[in-house]
Amino acid sequence: MKTSIKTIAFHLPQFHPIPENDQWWGKGFTDWTNVVKAKPQFEGHYQPHLPADLGFYDLRVAESREAQANLARQHGLYGFCYYHYWFEGRRLLERPVNEILASGRPDFPFCLCWANETWSRTWLGHESQILIKQTYSEHDDRVHARWLANTFLDHRYIRQNNRPVFLLYGVPRHPNVARFCDILREASREAGDENPYLIGVDSLCSWQDTRKYGFDTTLHFEPQLSIFPDLFVDRWMLRRWIRNSRMGIRSGHVKVFDYREGRRRMSGQRADFPQVPCLLVGWDNTARRGKRGSVLVGNTPEVFEEELRNALTVWIASSPQDDLFFINAWNEWAEGNHLEPDLRFGHGYVDALKRVLGEFENGRID
């Protein structure tokens, strides 16, 4: 069976300094700051994750953005989904997208996902020690929608059936999300465009049909962290020590789980509503959280290749209503979750992506 797939990778724009992060975390802070200080938390733990080909890039540099797009394109990726941060008209980490829009480069498809969460001094979204709070109002929804509608008009913006694709990460966080969806559709029409194709991410509302909130479909996000036992308990636990010991890991602090088993549990429930799939590359946030972090072990390029092939096979067999397939993520380095080449596996993950997508595109998989 020959098929066409729009494989889109989530892209983190945290790799350039901004005044806010300078103030909150120290001069020159980027996600690389967390990456390079990471240390193994148990014997055999792969840390730190260090970049290979692209190096410790700065996303203010046009050549870095071009190199990312070239690497992604060469390995079959259709486009990037950039995380978008909006706080009552104030955008953060906006420079890469601003320059992509202004320059027309790279000539590579993209869409946006509004990561609508309060920034705090923790890295799991807990609202303690707040740095900047995510707030909402009808007026702000209208201002935001006008900005988005203008961005949708860029010729590179990803479309589904000629409708610009837009994702909302924290669906239940918005107190009137149906209103926001309506306002965004109205703004898009006023800009002379089609209704946007709105995707509600189920990261905070697992296995819920987000059409009831006004979206067109639901992205089944990975990771679904809530499926892992005791994940949000940071103290030492005996049952965690016992569970980790079965994997040869002597720690009652760090939360360790198997990648394959984790993915089975994340995707094990069958939905009776339209969904867009998402496949996790890996997970290890100990670069940010140290011994309080969580790790999926057993993920290698070979395992990722098998998981991707299986996920695409199941998805296509379900006769999906669209051709969007998301991968998390292109460059979440501080979460051990990246297609970009590193010093340990080199091009292993992007090569696996290219092989599997080539099989489907050329009809070598039934």
Span 154-169, pLDDT tens digits: 999 999 999 999 999 9
Give me the mean pLDDT over the 300-313 stretch. 97
Domain range for 107 is 6-135+221-229+277-285+298-361
Q: 10 Å Cβ neighbour count for 310?
A: 14
- Domain count along the chain: 1
pLDDT at 284 over 50: yes
Q: What percent of the chain has pLDDT over 70?
A: 96
Give me the mean pLDDT over the 209-224 stretch. 96
Estimate to the nearest angstrom the gap between the alpha carbon of 230 and the chain centroid: 23
Residue 268 lies in a domain: no
Classified as helix, coil or strand, 108 is: coil
Longest dimension (CA), the chain: 60
Nearest Cα residue to 295 out of 283, 280, 281, 279: 283
Residue 200 lies in a domain: no
Classified as helix, coil or strand, 226 is: helix
Classified as helix, coil or strand, 221 is: coil
Buried b (16+ CB within 10 A) or exposed e, 105-122: ebebbbbbbbbbbbbbee
Residue 352 lies in a domain: yes
Residue 247 lies in a domain: no
pLDDT at 125 over 90: no
227 pLDDT tier (thresholds 50, 70, 90): confident
Residue 157 lies in a domain: no
3-class SS letters over 146-186: HHHHHHHCCCCECEECCEEEEEECCHHHCCCHHHHHHHHHH
pLDDT at 138 over 80: yes
363 pLDDT tier (thresholds 50, 70, 90): low
Q: Per residue in 46-92, pLDDT tens?
A: 999 999 999 999 999 999 999 999 999 999 999 999 999 999 999 99
123 pLDDT tier (thresholds 50, 70, 90): low
Residue 1: what pLDDT?
A: 44
Contact 255, 230 (CB under 8 A): yes
Contact 292, 253 (CB under 8 A): yes
